[in-house]
Amino acid sequence: CSIMINSCDNYSDIWEPFFTLFNKYFKTDMDVYISLETKKCPYAKTINKNFPLEQRTARIRECLKDIPTKYVIIMDEDCFISEYVNMFEIQNCIKYMEEDNNIAQFNFEPTFDNNDLECKYHGWLKRNNYPEGFQILYFNCNFSKNINGKCIHQIMREEEQNKNKCD
């Protein structure tokens, strides 16, 4: 089994915090790859496939062809690990896939507790008093920041402020 971190050249600023937490909480001897367009990442084996952002799935599929293991754990670089990874659970998932060829994937996404809506991936930032230089963005915000250089909410606030100045 290997691990592939899905990222892009524009998000190189979060590789260091991502891999700091990854190396702390994901204790493994698996090969770790990162899929990028053109840059090299100093923290993992880099696979470069220069696809436009809107062809993200195609890039992931092409990168997977360069990974020699039968099983690959795919992660996104903006999902910060804040708890130790249960390697026994991963080994069990691999065992289940070996036993049943109809299983194509397991999903380990976090769940929300009804009493605490804070996603566990952002616990590290909270425990470290939200250090300067970090920004929590969800998919739409990340996508907007990659395309427009700003989170969509920031763009909307600025447009509203400019509209009010004109009134």
pLDDT in tens, 53-73: 778 788 888 999 999 999 999
**For the ranges 41-45, 79-83, 139-143, the one whose mean pLDDT is highest:** 41-45
Q: What is the pLDDT of residue 35?
A: 93
**What's the pTM value of the predicted model, to 2 decimals?**
0.65
In the predicted model, what is the mean pLDDT of the chain?
A: 80
Instruction: Give the separation between CA 75 and CA 45, rounded to whole angstroms.
Output: 14
Mean pLDDT of all residues in 77-89: 85
Half-sphere exposure of 70 (CA within 13 A, CB side): 6
Q: What is the pLDDT of residue 55?
A: 80
